[in-house]
Amino acid sequence: MGKPAPIPDQASAFFWEGAARGELLVQRCEDCRAFQYPPTVVCEKCQSRDVRPTRVSGRGTLYALTVMHQAFLPVFAEDLPFTIALVDLDDAPGARLLANIVDADPGGLTAGDPLEVVFEPRGDYAIPQFRPAAAQRAGAA
C-alpha cells in the first residue's frame, strides 16, 4: 500500500491540481488581500467568498520542524527518520504550509532558514515539499 494521497474537496482542488502541474497556489482574498492556508470556503479575515488561487514563488522560511523517529503509520517506516516542517511562504504572508523537508540533514537547519518548494508525485496529484534554497545548498556543498 502506498503513502496516502490527498483527497481534494471543493475548496482545495485548485491546490492539488496546481501542485500536479508543478505550481504552488495559495488562496488570496480579492477584497482584503490576505493570504491563507489551508484553503477554505471564505476569507478567514473578512469573510469574503472571493478567495482566489494565486501563484507564489515557492520560496519560504523554516518556522519549525520535527524529525520523526517513530512511524505512526507503517507505510512511512522505511523513510525513518523523516522531517515534518512548518514553512512560512515568503511572498504570501500569513500562509504557513506543512510539508516534509527533503534533500537535507535536518540537524543542519535552523528556524528562519530559506527553503524552496519541490513537487513529489502522489496518486493523481503531487504534494509540495521543501528543500534548502539553492544558494543555501550551494554554500553547503
Partner 1 sequence: MSGQAAGRRATVVGVGYSSVHRELGVDTRPLVVDACVAALRDAGLTPTGIDAVFEYPGVGSQSAVNVQRLLGIGDLKAYGDLGGSGPSGLAAAMAAVAAVESGSCDVALVFRSVNREWGQQSGRVEVPPAGNAAQFTLPYGDFGGIIPSMGMRKYRRLAELGGSEEDYGQIAVNARRWAAMYERGVLTKPLTMDDYLSSRFVAEPLRLLDCDYPVTGACAAIITTAERARDLAGQPVTIDSVAFGTGSRPDWTFSDDLLFGGTIGCARRLWEKSSVTARDVDVAELYDGFTHITISWIEALGLCGIGEFGDWVDGGKRIGPGGALPLNTNGGQLAAGRLHGLAFLTEAVQQLRGDCGQRQVPGARVAVVANAHGPQCGAMVLTRE
Binding to partner 1 by residue 114, rule CB under 8 A?
Answer: no
Among 81, 93, 108, 121, binds partner 1 (CB under 8 A): 81
H or E segment at 136?
Answer: helix 134-140
Would you give the binding string for partner 1 spanning residues 32-61, x where CB under 8 A is met? Answer: -----xx-----x-----------------
Site size toward partner 1 (CB under 8 A) is: 43
Among 32, 46, 75, 140, binds partner 1 (CB under 8 A): 75
Q: Distance between CA atoms of 108 and 94, rounded to whole angstroms?
A: 26
Q: Distance between CA atoms of 22 and 126, rounded to whole angstroms?
A: 8
Cα 47 from chain centroid (whole Å): 24
Task: Choose between 7 and 134: whose C-beta lies nearer to partner 1.
Answer: 7
Q: Distance between CA atoms of 46 and 104, rounded to whole angstroms?
A: 38
State the minimum distance, in angstroms, from the CB of residue 105 to partner 1: 12
Sequence-separated (6 or more) residues with CB below 8 Å from residue 18: 24, 25, 53, 55
Among 73, 138, 139, 141, binds partner 1 (CB under 8 A): 73
C-alpha cell belonging to residue 23? 505550481
Residues in the site for partner 1, rule: CB under 8 A?
1, 3-9, 12, 16, 37-38, 44, 63-76, 79, 81-82, 84-86, 96, 98-100, 106, 110-112, 122, 127
